Amino acid sequence: MAKHPESKPDYSLSRVVCRNRKARHDYELLEQLECGIALRGSEVKSIRNNKIAIEDAYVRVENGEIWLIGADIAEYPQATYLNHDPKRQRKLLMHRREMAKFARAADQKGLTLVPLDIHLTRGFVKVQVAIARGQKEYDKRDKIRKQVDQQEMRQAIRRSGR
């Protein structure tokens, strides 16, 4: 069924475009923040087509500004000569207070800034960034063991309730 030509697109829902699944496994997430990102038009079109990867991306503080580095946004084929560099650094947009807080956290030993996901909210591209601490291998194994134990307990409770 076709939409009415004068109707506006529905931006009320948020849609996750890309998720960094390794981040939740490799890091202990301490605090999260949603921030904007400075993009070019062809980059936005590519993101809307799910042509983005942030698995190898990280966030760095340079000269009081916060940058997303290593995110791969594929070129948009219809942009011709106005296309963008797929691996360029992109500036993250946030309030000064938040920027200062994240800059202090990034300076602390053992803490890093990690992009968790990129999503569309009301038509705007947003990045979920977290202050994180790297996990040791034994911490990862303990976390997996706890998850398996909790899952087995839930299954046992479900079986006994029948």
- For the stretch 41-52, pLDDT in tens is 888 888 888 888
Residue 162 has pLDDT above 70, yes or no: no
Of 93, 136, 130, the C-alpha closest to 115 is: 130
For 135-144, what is the mean pLDDT? 77
CA separation for the pair 25, 72 (Å, rounded) = 21
Helices (H), the chain: 21-26, 41-48, 96-107, 137-160
Question: Which sequence spans correspond to the domains of the chain?
Answer: 14-135
Helices (H), 1-136: 21-26, 41-48, 96-107
User: Is the overall model pTM greater than 0.75, yes or no?
Assistant: no
CA separation for the pair 48, 115 (Å, rounded) = 18
Residue 40 CB neighbour total at 10 angstroms:
17
Q: Is 106 exposed, middle or buried (0-12, 13-18, 19+ CB in 10 A)?
A: middle
CATH topology of domain 14-135: Small Protein B; Chain: A; (2.40.280)
For 55-75, what is the mean pLDDT? 87
Residue 116 CB neighbour total at 10 angstroms:
23
68-91 pLDDT, tens digit per residue, is: 998 888 888 887 777 777 788 889
Read off the tokens for 61: 């503080």
